[in-house]
A and B are shown apart, each in its own frame.
Chain A
Amino acid sequence: MNKWRNIFLAESTLVPLAAILLGLLTGALAMLAGGFDPLLAYQSLLKKVFGNAYNFGETIRQITPLIFTGLSVAFAFRTGLFNIGAEGQFIMGMLASVYIGIVFDLPAYIHAPLAILAGALAGGLWGAIAGYLKAARGVHEVITTIMMNWIALYLANYILASFLVPEGKQNSEPVKETAVITIGWLSQMFDSARLHWGTLLALIAAVVFYVLLWKTKLGFELRAVGFNPHASEYAGMNVNKNVVNAMLIGGMFAGIGGACETLGVFHYMSISAAMPGYGMDGIAVALIGGNTPLGVILGAILFGMLSFGASGMKFGAGVPVELIRVVIASVIFFVAAHGIVRYLLKPVLAKQKEGS
């Protein structure tokens, strides 16, 4: 009992929670200013998310890729790198998995895993390129990953148009049945919401994240390099190799996310003018989650609920969908500006200290 109380009253839990509340409050003020009823809006948001089985299932679908991209950003961050490229890594994961899914003919127990593996490798490679450029040439990863995002988008469009999309169409052919990872019976339970094995993979990925960073030799090196490259060099670690490794692994998380999205949800990939956006949201998820695996999962749940529930706000309270972006932005603002939150929480935290 006491333990749980302590967890919930700990500063590391209290501050993000307060930030989220403040964010929602700011969003409410924005709605009031626009002449909407914020209470009704948030009610409709919740109703949308929890109202029926289909929407609940779809919310889970929305959360899944955010876990992957959140882990991708958080992993890089733990090793001292700022991965803005989860977007591009996600796209490359989609592309590779769709390619394997369409072109190969294999039994299901090989085909789907192979397609996911291809997605992981493609995303990882995409990240590793930025890592290599940093290690070998000293180019800052923020710049290269942003550039790699656009390269990924247009490269994917080019490959789709040239090889995978029939003339005159926008969408590729569907992947073979054997590569699909949708869970049929579960989808049926949720009124054919698109639920897939990727969600389970995302949770496993969070565990892998934890074990890799905090239990293995590789993780020891990655964290050391992230905290202090000079001391790592002194201790005989290969700093450059670790930078590439970190981006490779981070990219793999995003790549698997992309693969699951195509194999589990759409079963095809479209020529697209815009980025899917999961990578950018992943930055926010990682930030809210404090770059811990559990935090990332919780952050993704919040984000998924907000962005999926936004359409409910439109129906229920007439609030434009864009307004949810204001809420999300405010939450991010308050998480990033945790100094403000700490200041507001001062009396509570002070009492905490006395108590302990």
Chain B
Amino acid sequence: MEKLALFFPFFLSFFYAFFISSANGVNCLDQGQTVVEMRGITKRFPGIVANDNVNLVVRKGEIHALLGENGAGKSTLMNILFGLYQPDEGQIFINGKEVQITNPNVANELGIGMVHQHFMLVEPFTVTENIILGNEPRSGLKIDINKAARQVVELSHRYGLKVDPHAKIENISVGMQQRVEILKTLYRGADILIFDEPTAVLTPQEIHELIEIMRNLVKEGKTIILITHKLKEIMAACDRVTIIRRGKVIDSLAVADTNPDELAAKMVGREVTFRVEKKPSVPKDVILSVENVTTMGNRGVNALNGISFEVRAGEILGIAGVEGNGQSELIEVLTGLRKVQEGTIRLNGKEITNQSPRVISESGLSHIPEDRHKRGLVLDFSMSENMVLETYFHPEFNQKGFLNYEAIDKHAERLIKEFDVRTPSIHTPARALSGGNQQKAIIAREVDKNPDLLIAAQPTRGLDVGAIEFIHKRLIEQRDKGKAVLLISLELDEIMNVSDRIAVIYEGKIVGIVDPKETDEQELGLMMSGGKTMSGGGNG
């Protein structure tokens, strides 16, 4: 008995020591444990090394950013991790074990889920149906949809992903659709989540919410790999960042130890300026005048409600607004892709209301479309052919119905050189180029038409810092040459930096026109949400 009593404190201290050390050990493992390791990954595509001996280490519970310009090879690397591509060389370790991820099913089993840049949802199906698709809970032969809905609600509560489980995909916003994609991966039990440029399609508000969601996920023990080229987001949300340039890893560092300027320089390979350098504008004659234009949208209600504004030569008018307030319809009406019910549009004093796209284009209007894949390019055409998409019938390219491909190729060579479009050759299909280079090509084509009015719709959507800088410079160059530029963008930063005047569109009307030097995000935000109308500057 005494002996035991004697030993007791001993015992206690022993236990205590053991407990502490083991708790420490667990803690260490939790923080530092490597969940994903990619070693020496090389992936070649015809004519390009998309990943060149890439090493990537992702630790448990972190938000790891993959930063790089368009075409750097980020998606390729993640598609390899998700089993969509097979690497030519290299190894992958998940939780320390080497694995062969031959297809996405294997990735699923390993707990890897991916939210792609383009959503893969069935539009007429409900949220729940989409989430359980391919993995349905059954009762007998029937799908137990109620049980599924309960599971979805449970998951969405747990991670703070608010969705209506019975809403149809076609009726919910893009931000909501993205949540459905995230829930899909969680429903399949993913612990490692890959997001491929998730914020490219979101409004500033939705981006905030997404960052909140990612934090919740990490808190619940998930690991996140975030592909992005937006430095702001990395600084706000991520723990570590790996920078890829032209297929090679440049650096991998803790976000706390770096700053946006350093990241941008590493990503692009040179110093970049975020400020847009420009002289004050010298507006001259009115080039575009829009008067009381009304048009029907696709939903059967008016998308434009008597909108009026002017753009003068030598100025950039920026149109700010929340998505879906008539921006797309405005562009379509101006370029002849949609009919106007009321009102008049004049270009250089000549009426172009309801004229065909060709007539309008030939009257001196160029247009960088918001959806470059849908409108801007024929992806299966060669670059050479795409460069004359609107001018192939001009006498320099077309003699009596026969096309002069020699002239067309020469024209393409010149533009591609002038605008630094990186393409293996002018005969490469547009599909094979990276987004930034596709956009550069479109801009080359549109600017080369020497238009009086250039409409730039979302010209930098989905592009990296280097390309954005290039495009902004070109827009300002047009202005300085005495052309009129109409910039329509959802990126408030872009509007504020590039425009000489800002018109705010709300529910198909201009609710105010302000000077970017005399306004701030606060005021613009208020106007964009319909909370404030400026009677002074606006004429809408």
A125 vs chain B, min Cβ distance (A): 22
Q: Which residue of B lies closest to A221 (CB)?
A: B392
Type the 1/0 row for B351-381, where 1 means its CB is closer than 8 Å to any CB of A.
0000011110110000101000011111111
Q: Is A325 part of the binding interface, using a Cβ–Cβ cutoff of 8 Å?
A: no
B402 adjacent to A231 (CB under 8 Å): no
Which residues of chain A (201-256) have a CB below 8 Å from chain B? 215-218, 220, 223-224, 227-228, 230-238
For B201, list chain A residues within 8 Å (CB): none
A248 vs chain B, min Cβ distance (A): 16
For A228, list chain B residues within 8 Å (CB): 374, 377-380
Contact with A235, one of B379, B389, B401 (Cβ below 8 angstroms):
B389
For A231, list chain B residues within 8 Å (CB): 374-378, 389
Q: Which residue of B lies closest to A224 (CB)?
A: B378
B94 vs chain A, min Cβ distance (A): 27
Most buried by B among A215, A224, A228: A228
B177 vs chain A, min Cβ distance (A): 22
For A234, list chain B residues within 8 Å (CB): 335, 337, 357, 367, 369, 375-376
A230 adjacent to B374 (CB under 8 Å): yes
For A220, list chain B residues within 8 Å (CB): 385, 392, 403
B380 adjacent to A227 (CB under 8 Å): yes
A316 vs chain B, min Cβ distance (A): 46
For B369, list chain A residues within 8 Å (CB): 234
Most buried by B among A217, A233, A235: A235
A216 adjacent to B335 (CB under 8 Å): no
In angstroms, Cα B357 to Cα A231, docked, is: 11
A223 adjacent to B381 (CB under 8 Å): yes
For A232, list chain B residues within 8 Å (CB): 378
For A227, list chain B residues within 8 Å (CB): 378-381
A235 adjacent to B357 (CB under 8 Å): yes
Q: Is B18 part of the binding interface, using a Cβ–Cβ cutoff of 8 Å?
A: no
For A216, list chain B residues within 8 Å (CB): 401-403
A216-B403, A217-B401 given; A224·B381 CB < 8 A: yes
Which residues of chain B (397-427) have a CB below 8 Å from chain A? 398, 401-403, 405
A215 adjacent to B337 (CB under 8 Å): no
For A237, list chain B residues within 8 Å (CB): 358
B80 vs chain A, min Cβ distance (A): 18
B357 adjacent to A217 (CB under 8 Å): no
For A217, list chain B residues within 8 Å (CB): 392-393, 398, 401-403
B378 adjacent to A215 (CB under 8 Å): no
Q: Which residue of B lies closest to A236 (CB)?
A: B358
For B401, list chain A residues within 8 Å (CB): 216-218
Type the 1/0 row for B327-366, where 1 means its CB is closer than 8 Å to any CB of A.
0000000010100000000000000000011110110000
For A223, list chain B residues within 8 Å (CB): 378, 381
Q: Is B469 part of the binding interface, using a Cβ–Cβ cutoff of 8 Å?
A: no
A236 adjacent to B356 (CB under 8 Å): yes
Q: Is B491 part of the binding interface, using a Cβ–Cβ cutoff of 8 Å?
A: no
For B164, list chain A residues within 8 Å (CB): none
A230 adjacent to B402 (CB under 8 Å): no
Q: Is B390 part of the binding interface, using a Cβ–Cβ cutoff of 8 Å?
A: yes
Contact with B402, one of A215, A233, A235, A238 (Cβ below 8 angstroms):
A215
Type the 1/0 row for B314-325, where 1 means its CB is closer than 8 Å to any CB of A.
000000000000
In angstroms, Cα B362 to Cα A233, docked, is: 14
B60 vs chain A, min Cβ distance (A): 37
A265 vs chain B, min Cβ distance (A): 34
In angstroms, Cα B378 to Cα A227, docked, is: 7
In angstroms, Cα B358 to Cα A306, docked, is: 50
Query: Which A residues form the contact surface with B (CB < 8 A)?
Result: 215-218, 220, 223-224, 227-228, 230-238
Query: Which B residues form the contact surface with A (CB < 8 A)?
Result: 335, 337, 356-359, 361-362, 367, 369, 374-381, 385, 389-390, 392-393, 398, 401-403, 405
**Which 8 residue pairs across A and B have the least CB separation, nearest first?**
A236-B358, A234-B375, A235-B389, A236-B357, A227-B380, A228-B378, A235-B390, A227-B378
Can you list 15 A-B pairs, Cβ within 8 angstroms, ordered by A? A215-B403, A215-B405, A216-B402, A217-B398, A217-B401, A223-B378, A224-B381, A230-B374, A231-B376, A231-B378, A231-B389, A232-B378, A234-B369, A234-B376, A236-B359
